[in-house]
Amino acid sequence: MTDNVEQKVGNRIYNFTDTVLPSEVQKILELDFNYGLPTTNINQPVVTIIKDLEGCIDKVKDDELSNEGLTEVRNNLRARGVNIVTNHIKYRRRSNSNHKKNFNLVKNIKVTRNFFKQHEDLLVMRSDKGNSTVVMYKEEYLTEMNKLVGDRKTYEKIKRDPTSKLQNISNRLIKKLVDIGILDNIQGKLMRTHSALAPRIYGLRKTHKPGCKLRPVVSSIGSPGYEIANFVHKSLLPFVMSLKYNVTDSFHFLDQIKLKKVNEDHVLISLDVVSLFTNVYNSLIRKIIIERWDEIQKFVQLDQTTLLELIDFCYDSGYFMFDGNFYLQKEGCAMGSPASPSIAIIAVDYVVSMALTHLDFEIPIIKSYVDDLFAVVPKDKVDSILDVFNSVDKDIQLTLEVENNGKLPFLDILIERSEDGDLITSWFKKPYSSGRILNFNSNHPLSQKLGVVKGFLNRAMRLSHVNKTKESIRMVRRLLSSNNYPNKVISKCEKIVSERIRNNIRSNNVNRNWSFSRFPYIKGLSPRLGSLFRHTNCKLVFYNVFKVKDLFSRLKDKVEKEDRSGLVYRIPCSCGKWYVGQTRQKLKARVRQHKLDCRPEKSIKNNKTALAEHHFVEDGHNFQFEDVEILDLEKNYMKRNLSEMIFIKAMNCVNFRSDTQNLSTIYSDLINDVKDLVKS
């Protein structure tokens, strides 16, 4: 099959292969990536439940209580929480009703897993736009990705991994921010990185364009430049919010244009910046910051030199890993960097400001949202305006689209000119949208599903002119119905949203000193635990342990086991027992330390680890370091310690008894359920 032809299933699946997808596979791939899959009797995430329950308890605070009183409250929550969890697990074992209810879903998931195991030449991923699912050949994907990273104008292949070097530079910059008082010691400690990983690049297929074209995406969380880039973004954000032409969202945009009129000799246009992020060069940003410093310094705490130094680092850390090789982005703000949006918005605002000074006519309306611009211009100036904008900077180039029959989409609004020059707006859904949102049957709490309904209805009502509201609501109702939302639920939410808009009610959650804590959503369990914490300051935020996207292909370069950090691990001994440990370091560094502790000259060392103590106790106890296994990945220090203690209790270990002394005995029955998961 050519790359221009696809077996399209509705508008939710694009199959760019000759392979026919079984109906069971289609049913799974039609679901949203974040569709929550229910837990079953055999995959109850007991360790996660215990960790997150303790995380919730740890968040409970009450300034009116003494330390002893707060401890009593927490102990009470722990006892009641464990009782709820234990009863839930016992009930699930006695009852198979949930299994029957989800029988078809579970069956289809198994078929889908087996199908893609048998067809290793296929990749399944999400599309670049439209929220669709793409199936394509792995060979075709790798060919296109190699073409992309092989573009020598944009990327340069480098021989060495610069991660360690950039990590050291990042930590020095963070120390500087602490020394000059911009960050306190705690903030600095949280920002420093010790086990950074190289950013990973992958591609998403552009289903809205012909041929096989991929949009590059760089995952940079945990990379050397991530924390600095995030700090730069937050530092620049107040200035970005003040920019004259920038709008923050559709509602802000509507507020800016709703009272405007358009003369009949004017026309609506949209401008789109081509490859904005890779074409905003550091030299341009430095120039803007220096020229506009009097304005910028009103919004940032940093001095000009320090800000430029941080931005320089954001550009210097623009590298990534693909297929085991490292590439440096020659110019432009690093893809995947948290600083890129703010930097790009500043650059676009500069281009707009400079272009307007070169025009010999007035533009009554011009607004920008990142790389998209909306403007009203004289009809006879349409051809010339693009030349003026593209003349500001040779690297920042734009394309232009003119209204069609008096209509032009911008963001998720369709703007229409009336005969008397008013701008009539309505909620807009892009033609290539799959119409796939959080499904009502997904394993999510009802409150989140109701939030989806209210959110869409709120947008339809607030973004639409009074004459277009009914039409927009009908579109939303069709969208929700296609995702299995009952009409009764939609109608009830419509009344609530209408009433809130009529009374100008925006939110009732302000000024509440809540502390939020994650907890897995397990039907029948999580709502009860949520109720348990209802009268505390801690509010549970539910997430799914298992999702449809877990079935998708891993497009990013795999992080090797030895390069993982923030984890709990086990190392087998030749006697059949295990040593369980936890570390924030990369696993290879921790294993290296264990090997050194087992060297003969270390036998007389005091305060040996349990692993070394067991190794030296008598001949024949040799640890098989090459067979080290990761039991759990957990970045949070408190939860990681807890996970380590759980696994020590659940396994035949050589660890000291003191290693588990901080684990409450109230979890003993639950830990018995963990033992089946870690049988050697």
What is the reported pLDDT for 605? 85
Tell me the pLDDT tens digit for each residue of 119-160: 999 999 999 989 999 999 999 999 999 999 999 989 999 999
H/E/C letters for each residue in 547-607?
EHHHHCCCCCCCCCHHHCEEEEEEEEECCCCEEEEEEEEEHHHHHHHHHHHCCHHHHHCCC
What is the reported pLDDT for 510? 52
For residue 15, is pLDDT > 90? yes
What is the reported pLDDT for 258? 83
For residue 462, is pLDDT > 70? yes
Phi, psi of 239 (to 5 degrees): -70, -45
In this prediction, what percent of the chain has a pLDDT beyond 90? 79
- Cβ atoms of 335 and 200 closer than 8 Å: no
C-alpha to C-alpha distance for 571 and 587, rounded to whole angstroms: 11
What is the reported pLDDT for 508? 57
Residue 152 is encoded by which pair of tokens?
């020598």
**Which of 291, 343, 275, 349 lies closest to 314 in space, CA to CA?**
343
Of the pLDDT bands very low, low, confident and very high (cuts 50, 70, 90), residue 669 is confident
Q: Is the dihedral of CA 380, 385, 388, 391 positive or negative?
A: negative
Of the pLDDT bands very low, low, confident and very high (cuts 50, 70, 90), residue 97 is low
- Cβ atoms of 282 and 445 closer than 8 Å: no
Tell me the pLDDT tens digit for each residue of 252-285: 999 999 888 898 899 999 999 998 888 899 999 9
**Which of 330, 326, 318, 322 lies closest to 141 in space, CA to CA?**
322
C-alpha to C-alpha distance for 511 and 518, rounded to whole angstroms: 21
Q: Tokens 């500001």 belong to which residue?
A: 392
Residue 293 is encoded by which pair of tokens?
């410093």
For residue 168, is pLDDT > 70? yes
From residue 56, alpha-carbon distances to 518, 532, 640 in Å are 8, 11, 15
For residue 247, is pLDDT > 70? yes
C-alpha to C-alpha distance for 220 and 229, rounded to whole angstroms: 10
What is the reported pLDDT for 335? 77
For residue 520, is pLDDT > 90? yes
Phi, psi of 153 (to 5 degrees): -75, -30
In this predicted structure, which of 197-201, 244-248, 260-264 has the lowest mean pLDDT? 260-264
How large is the average pLDDT for residues 430-445? 92
Q: pTM here?
A: 0.90
Tell me the pLDDT tens digit for each residue of 527-566: 999 999 999 999 999 999 999 999 999 999 999 999 999 9
How large is the average pLDDT for residues 94-104? 66
How large is the average pLDDT for residues 457-466? 95
Tell me the pLDDT tens digit for each residue of 574-600: 999 999 999 999 999 999 999 999 999
What is the reported pLDDT for 211? 87
What is the reported pLDDT for 41? 65
Tell me the pLDDT tens digit for each residue of 391-434: 999 999 999 999 999 999 999 999 998 888 899 999 998 888 89
Of the pLDDT bands very low, low, confident and very high (cuts 50, 70, 90), residue 680 is very low
Q: Tokens 């106790």 belong to which residue?
A: 617
Of the pLDDT bands very low, low, confident and very high (cuts 50, 70, 90), residue 679 is low
What is the reported pLDDT for 35? 95
Residue 232 is encoded by which pair of tokens?
């730069």
CA dihedral 673, 674, 678, 679 (to 10 degrees): -30
How large is the average pLDDT for residues 79-101? 79
For residue 4, is pLDDT > 90? no
**Which of 389, 270, 278 lies closest to 333 in space, CA to CA?**
278
Strand bridging mode 155-158 / 325-329: antiparallel
For residues 675 and 650, the model is more confident at 650
Helix (H) / strand (E) containing 251: helix 250-257
Mean pLDDT of the chain: 91
Tell me the pLDDT tens digit for each residue of 202-213: 999 999 888 899
Residue 67 burial (10 A CB sphere; 0-12, 13-18, 19+): exposed
Phi, psi of 519 (to 5 degrees): -155, 140
Secondary structure (3-state) at 281: coil
- Cβ atoms of 619 and 574 closer than 8 Å: no
**Which of 342, 139, 327, 316 lies closest to 216 in space, CA to CA?**
327
Secondary structure (3-state) at 391: coil
How large is the average pLDDT for residues 1-14? 62
For residues 620 and 216, the model is more confident at 216
For residue 1, is pLDDT > 80? no
For residue 473, is pLDDT > 60? yes
CB under 8 Å to 626, separation ≥6 — which residues?
none
C-alpha to C-alpha distance for 622 and 133, rounded to whole angstroms: 49
Of the pLDDT bands very low, low, confident and very high (cuts 50, 70, 90), residue 507 is low
